[in-house]
Amino acid sequence: MRQRARGEARARFERAGARSEAAHIFETGGLRLRFPRAEAECEAVLVNTGGGMAGGDRATIEMAVGANARAFVTTQSAEKIYRCEREPVRVEARLSVERGGALTWAPQETLLFEASALERRLEADVAADASLTIVEAVVFGRLASGETRIAATLIDRWRVRRAGRLVFAEALRLADAAATLDRPAVGAGARAIATVLCVAPEAEAAAPNLRAALEAIAAEPGEPLDIGASGFDGMAIARLASPSPSRLRAAVIAAILTLHGGRPPRVWS
């Protein structure tokens, strides 16, 4: 029996004068955290030293932001999910933001290979006056290599609580991804999808600007980009789908800039 990878990364961010910095860090297995910039907001980059994940691998990630601290957490590169013979890859992320804090959780794309299977779970707890932005994008197949008809499986579950109350919950299951996404009512040929969710006191008011930014990208020449954005109950949410991962990535960056301001992390360039 093959030995499978078990990785865990935990960090807690605290305010230290005018800066936010990582106060507590725990790493084990193939997951590492690097901190290229600590200013008013601390930038954290998650690194998978294994270069990808295969069937039976597990990863647990916990990010906690203390009162009035700010953190932007991303990944060094796209996470690759390889063939799974028996067990799926399982990834669990737990996020928490205390009063007055702000966390952007924006890993780079997850790339699913042929016959891969990913089960992912995200749990988040946000204080009433805190801010949490979640960006998750998935690409199905190595499209540049002509891998457009992959049979991959994605199961994705989100639970977000604000001041202890469940405000957002969803479960996504895509089996035989290419065939499912080819259906007009599902993906209309998309090979890259993303969800952007912002939970913050000002999130609902930001929804029109978010929609406008995404529509501007969709209006540019190129492959189709389907977008939808709305605001409700103190949240803003956007859904994106495209046959082109580069088109989707441009839209995701536009969403981050609209909701977060500033610039995307350097590892995204």
pLDDT tens digits, one per residue of 60-90? 999 999 999 999 999 999 999 999 988 999 9
**∠ CA(190), CA(93), CA(74), 5° rounding?**
70
| 3-13 residue pLDDT tens | 678 999 999 99
- The CA-to-CA distance between both ends of the chain, in Å, stands at 39
Contact 61, 32 (CB under 8 A): no
Predicted confidence at residue 86, as pLDDT, reads 85
Q: Looking at residue 148, what is its pLDDT?
A: 72
Question: What are 35-56's pLDDT values in tens digits?
Answer: 998 889 999 999 999 889 999 9
Segment 94-116 shows an average pLDDT of 96
Could you tell me the two tokens for 193? 């999808």
| Cα–Cα dist 175/86, whole Å | 15
* Mean per-residue pLDDT over the chain, rounded: 93
Q: Place 1 in a pLDDT band, splitting at 50, 70 and 90.
A: very low
Nearest to 53 by CA among 129, 112, 125: 112
pLDDT digits (tens, 9 = 90+) for 131-170: 999 999 999 988 777 777 888 999 999 999 999 999 999 9
At 2, the pLDDT band (50, 70, 90 cuts) reads low
The whole-number pLDDT of residue 224 equals 94
Position 146 scores a pLDDT of 73
Closest CA to 35 of 76, 64, 92: 76
Mean pLDDT of all residues in 174-189: 88
Q: Is residue 242 within 8 Å of residue 190, measured between CB atoms? A: yes
Amino acid at 46: L
pLDDT the model gives residue 209: 96
pLDDT the model gives residue 216: 97
**What pLDDT was estimated at residue 3?**
63
Mean pLDDT of 236-257: 96
What is this structure's pTM?
Answer: 0.95
Crossing angle (nearest 10°) for helices 203-218 and 245-260: 150
The strands making up 19-28's β-sheet, listed across from edge to edge, are 19-28, 6-16, 58-65, 89-97, 117-126, 153-162, 165-174
Residues of the chain above pLDDT 70, percent: 99
pLDDT in tens, 25-34: 999 999 999 9
